[in-house]
Amino acid sequence: DASDIEKGTYPHFMLKEIDEQPFVIRNIVQKYRNDDGSVRLDDSIRQAMSAADRVYIIAAGTSYHAGLVGKQLIEKIAQKPVEVHIASEFLYNMPLLSENPLFIFISQSGETADLRGVLVEVKEQGYPTLTITNVPGSTLSREADFTLHTYAGPEIAVASTKAYTAQMAVLTLLAVNTASARGIELDFDPIQELGIVASAMETLCDQKEELEQIARDYLATTPNCFFIGRAADYFVCLEGSLKLKEISYIQAEGFAGGELKHGTIALIEDGTPVIAIATQSHVNLSIRGNVKEVAARGANTCIISMEGLEQEGDSLVLPKVHEYLTSLTTVIPLQLISYYAALHRDCDVDKPRNLAKSVTVE
């Protein structure tokens, strides 16, 4: 049938979409790049970002996790304050807004009802709105003032992969463009750094055997799993745990490394898998301290680190990428580990139980 043709030689859409990520990043760079190497965005978006005194990112699920990374990118690169909110909570528990807010809706499908509820409400209040989506003709795209296209191509697997990394790449370019509008000089070349990210992604996509082995060693029979990380790595832990839950039905939790000891460490038993991410130099020692804490209580620990920060015994060392962009590469092994865990546990990878690709009801 048609879906078999689209999958090509891949057994699942999810695996195909994971492998497409390096191409997607290069494609985004090409779409938003000027000949002189600067970032091209509509002037209207540039102006809206400049005029806002605070950005409110609204999203759900995996797109919310991209939003958490987006906050850091916009705050660090463009020095503009950002809040990130879960769409379904925002509507009924609205924070005190700044004087000139800009609302950014991040949505793969552009159809999520929880986001639309917020969009309608803030438009009614007269605030400017921007949708970042993979489907430019979608409801959220049509109804917002501005749209940024993530150019990831159709994402078929219910569990989002390439849409997430595409969202983070576009958020990077939005941050860079905003910085230039504000006259902020960057000490790195974002276009070049995203190219390095794409190559690193390729390297990681070629490490399927190692990642399948990690899935087998840590996740074949376990009822639960923890992901721990600090700073930017924490946000990827949230996404990694969501991926694992969605497709393998393993109860998984993403935790800030330093927070585990304040209660949840009580759940660590002999053999509990704890996957730690260590790609941030300023917290490398402290996250490794957290790994020791759980190991001392019997956890089966797996450390994913990055070149320059690695230590003996790490399970996987990622190629070095710019410190702002680590989330784009760190998530690849987590996606693949989830994929192989789901396969080993005989789960329906592309169509997990109880889930829909796009949720158009509140």
Select from 25, 28, 60, 194 the one that contacts ligand G6P (CB under 6 A).
60
Which one-letter DSSP state was computed for residue 33? Answer: B
Contact call for residue 112 and ligand G6P (CB under 6 A): yes
Q: Counting beta carbons within 10 angstroms of the beta carbon of residue 271, is it exposed (0 to 12), middle (13 to 18) or buried (19 or more)?
A: exposed
CA–CA dist 115, 108 (Å, integer) = 11
Q: How many residues does the chain have?
A: 362
Q: Are 304 and 277 in contact (CB under 8 A)?
A: yes
How far is Cα 217 from Cα 209, in angstroms, rounded to an integer?
12
**93 strand-pairing partners:** none
119-158 binders of ligand G6P (CB under 6 A): 158
Size of the site for ligand G6P (CB under 6 A): 16
User: How many Cβ atoms sit within 10 Å of the Cβ of residue 186?
Assistant: 13
Q: Which is nearer to ligand G6P, 47 or 360 (CB)?
A: 360
Q: Which of 7, 208, 351, 357 is catalytic?
A: 357
The answer to whether residue 31 is catalytic is: no
- Unique residue bearing structure tokens 């919310």: 64
Contact status: 338 vs ligand G6P (CB under 6 A): no
Binder to ligand G6P among 21, 27, 108, 141 (CB under 6 A)? 108
**What is the smallest separation between the CB atom of 262 and ligand G6P, expressed in angstroms?**
28
Instruction: Count Cα atoms within 13 angstroms, Cβ side, for 110.
Output: 22
Contacts of ligand G6P in 61-80 (CB under 6 A) = 61-63
DSSP for 204-256 reads HHTTHHHHHHHHHHHHSS-SEEEEEE-THHHHHHHHHHHHHHHHH--EEEEEE
Of the candidate spans 15-23, 77-85, 316-324, 352-360, the one that interacts with ligand G6P by CB under 6 A turns out to be 352-360
Nearer to ligand G6P, 141 or 284 (CB): 141
Binding mask 234-273 for ligand G6P (x = CB under 6 A): ----------------------------------------
27 binds ligand G6P (CB under 6 A): no
- 160 near ligand G6P (CB under 6 A): yes
For position 330 contacting ligand G6P by CB under 6 A, the verdict is no
For the annotated catalytic residues, the residue numbers are: 357
Binding site for ligand G6P (CB under 6 A): 60-63, 107-109, 112, 115, 158, 160, 355-359
